Amino acid sequence: MSAERICTTAELETNKAFRVVLEKTAIVVVKDSTGAVHAIGDTCTHGDISLAEGFVEDEDIECWAHGSKFSLATGMPLNLPAYEPVPVFAVTVDADGVVYIDPHTTLAV
């Protein structure tokens, strides 16, 4: 299956995490302060915690449990205790501002 329609960019609050589940894959969606929309795996690689419940700051999202931050662009952890990345999913925004995410396409970082 291909990308799924999620919402419009106008419906996304800047720097606020939004959780969606696409075909059993939990994804956290964030529109950053530049207006770019990111989609990364929602489950922290240190524990079974939803990153959507964490804190968005600049280009990162912080897990509330133990403080690991993940890059919204690359999925890479920026500090311990997490040391494995979360996946980054392909996001497409069309001319009308409609956001599509493909849960099957992860981007190489």
The residue among 17 and 63 lying less far from ligand FES, judged by its C-beta, is 63
How far apart are alpha carbons 28 and 52 in whole angstroms? 6
Q: Residues in the site for ligand FES, rule: CB under 6 A?
A: 44, 46-47, 49, 63, 65-66, 68, 81-82
Closest contact distance (angstroms) between CB of 55 and ligand FES is 12
Residue 109: Cβ within 10 Å count: 11
Closest contact distance (angstroms) between CB of 97 and ligand FES is 32
Residue 21: Cβ within 10 Å count: 10
The residue among 67 and 97 lying less far from ligand FES, judged by its C-beta, is 67
For residue 7, give both structure tokens: 């919402």
